[in-house]
């Protein structure tokens, strides 16, 4: 290894190089950045109600879905759990 090929010994050199590369890609393709931000919001809004355990265990006698959610996740619905 010559003096011109100096390797950075910083712990953050690798992660920063990867982050910098992704930021450059997003800068060149702003649509990808916008969709990356919008997609999780759409999933939460459109599918959030479907993820409630009440929709899964409704047909089982003797099980109250709200009690199961409260004891398992500390809340009675998916939106409160995600906050």
| pLDDT tens digit at each of 83 positions of the chain | 555 567 667 888 889 999 999 889 888 999 988 998 899 888 877 776 666 655 555 666 777 777 777 787 787 776 776 66
For residues 36 and 62, state if they share a domain.
no
For residues 58 and 34, state if they share a domain.
no
For residues 21 and 35, state if they share a domain.
yes
For residues 33 and 64, state if they share a domain.
no
User: What's the number of domains the chain is made of?
Assistant: 2
Q: What angle do CA 59, 63, 66 make, to 5 degrees?
A: 100
> Which tokens go with 49?
């109600």
Whether this model's pTM surpasses 0.95: no
For residues 52 and 83, state if they share a domain.
yes
Assigned domain for 6 exists: no
Q: Which domain holds residue 76?
A: 48-83
């Amino acid at each position: 290894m010559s003096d011109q090929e100096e390797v950075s010994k910083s712990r953050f050199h690798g992660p920063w190089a990867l982050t910098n590369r992704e930021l450059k890609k997003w800068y060149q393709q702003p649509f990808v950045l916008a969709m990356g931000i919008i997609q999780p919001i759409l999933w939460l809004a459109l599918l959030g109600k479907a993820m409630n355990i009440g929709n899964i265990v409704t047909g089982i006698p003797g099980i109250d879905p709200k009690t199961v959610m409260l004891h398992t996740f500390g809340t009675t619905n998916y939106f409160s759990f995600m906050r």
